[in-house]
Amino acid sequence: MEDQFRTEIGDLGEFGLIDHLTKNNETVQAGTILSVGDDAAVIDQFGRQLVVSSDMLIEGVHFDLMYTPLKHLGYKAVAVNLSDICAMFATPTHITVNIGISNRFSVEALSEFYDGVYAACAKYNVDLVGGDTSTSLKGFIISITAIGEVVPGKFVTRSGAQENDLICVSGDLGGAYLGLQLLEREKKIYMEHQGVQPDLQNQGYLLGKILKPEPRVDIVEWLQDNNITPTAMIDISDGLSSELLHICNKSEVGCILYEAKIPVSEEAKLLGMQFNIPTVTCALSGGEDYELLFTIKQEDYEKVARNSNITVIGYITPIEQGANMLTPSGKIHKLIAQGWNAFG
Ligand SMILES: [Mg+2]
């Protein structure tokens, strides 16, 4: 594929490359006053508060191009940043995308990456309003800044959880970690026996979880539409236990997490059995699920119970009781952070 149509980045030059990558860039946000093409973008927030979050992804540390299609990578790079905006109970509106690339990448390869970026922008009504491209000596580096808006004072932090609040999570957990194990297994087989086709049959759901996560903009909208304001919120990038501990630490509270209530998919259960990893371990320590973890007042329970995409998994206790998990057999375990660690 690479030899068929390969345009060297050097043939276009930096400005030519930027023109090429942004020629189909359309903006949809009313607040976008000035987009790509000047020294900076101009955004009107219409009296709303601005929420800003940045994230960096480095080849070999955060992603492996051997099994990550560039289009998926572009989509995911945007999605994980929008997830942080959602975790503030805000609505994502704009992004800037900075990349560092070596001459290993062709213009066509970069276009594929940007196809994914634009696909995520289109899906979530987000405008790409700026960015920079630079030369990297080795590997691919992506840095995205996401901007969102929120009604003044209505943002939700990690620090507002109070005793007796209910702990909720969106979607299901552990799937991304199992999807990654599957990709790593097939990569290993491929490296050892060149030419063996990967066996990824019927694993679309879990591969989607790791390769194409979706920010839970829908959950934020649903909560807002139903007049439920979480008392604390975080997105799950590192695994349920470490994210819940972040909420407990910042809010200065303890918690009881019911192991049996942690939502896991049937697909994850089946693959977990194959790999001999309990799905609960994947949910607690796996990471990259990009679901929302939040706490609500008890009075909002009836409303939340009606949404099948939200599961109540525990409640907040006084700080003296610590952060604990109750197993199905009635044992209490201290919750420990074993989140995924890029430096590990
Ligand atoms: Mg986050």
Q: How far is the CA of 74 from the centre of ligand 1 (A)?
A: 18
Name the phi and psi angles at 271, rounded to 5. -70, -35
* CATH tag for 9-150 (out of 1.10.468.10, 3.30.1330.10, 2.40.50.140, 3.40.630.30): 3.30.1330.10
What pLDDT, in 10s, does the model give residues 264-289? 999 999 999 999 999 999 999 998 99
What pLDDT, in 10s, does the model give residues 201-259? 778 899 999 999 999 999 999 999 999 999 999 999 999 999 999 999 999 999 999 99
What are the boundaries of each domain within the chain?
A: 9-150, 166-334
Fold of 166-334: Phosphoribosyl-aminoimidazole Synthetase; Chain A, domain 2 (3.90.650)
- Is a pLDDT exceeding 90 seen at residue 337? no
Q: How far is CA 284 from CA 26, 204, 235, 240, 244, in A?
A: 40, 22, 13, 5, 9
Q: How far is the CA of 190 from the centre of ligand 1 (A)?
A: 34
- Is a pLDDT exceeding 70 seen at residue 91? yes
Q: How far is the CA of 291 from the centre of ligand 1 (A)?
A: 10
Q: How far is the CA of 43 from the centre of ligand 1 (A)?
A: 24
Q: How far is the CA of 46 from the centre of ligand 1 (A)?
A: 25
What pLDDT, in 10s, does the model give residues 33-70? 999 988 899 999 999 999 999 999 999 999 999 989 99
pLDDT reported for residue 4 = 66
pLDDT reported for residue 159 = 97
Identify whether the C-beta of residue 161 lies closer than 8 Å to the C-beta of residue 253.
Answer: yes
Q: How far is the CA of 237 from the centre of ligand 1 (A)?
A: 6
pLDDT reported for residue 1 = 45
What contacts 24+ positions apart, CB below 8 Å, involve 20-24? Answer: 20/107, 20/111, 21/110, 21/111, 21/114, 21/133, 22/128, 24/118
Q: How far apart are CA 53 and CA 145, in angstroms?
A: 6
| CB-based burial, 214-250: b 16+ in 10 Å, e otherwise | bbbbebbebbeeeebbbbbbbbbbbbbbbbbbbbbee
Q: How far is the CA of 236 from the centre of ligand 1 (A)?
A: 7
Identify whether the C-beta of residue 76 lies closer than 8 Å to the C-beta of residue 209.
Answer: no
Q: How far is the CA of 342 from the centre of ligand 1 (A)?
A: 14
| CB-based burial, 102-119: b 16+ in 10 Å, e otherwise | eeebbbebbbbbbebbbb
- Which of 186-190, 253-257, 326-330 is the least confident region? 186-190
pTM listed for this prediction: 0.93
Q: Give the confidence band of 176 by pLDDT, cuts at 50, 70, 90.
A: very high
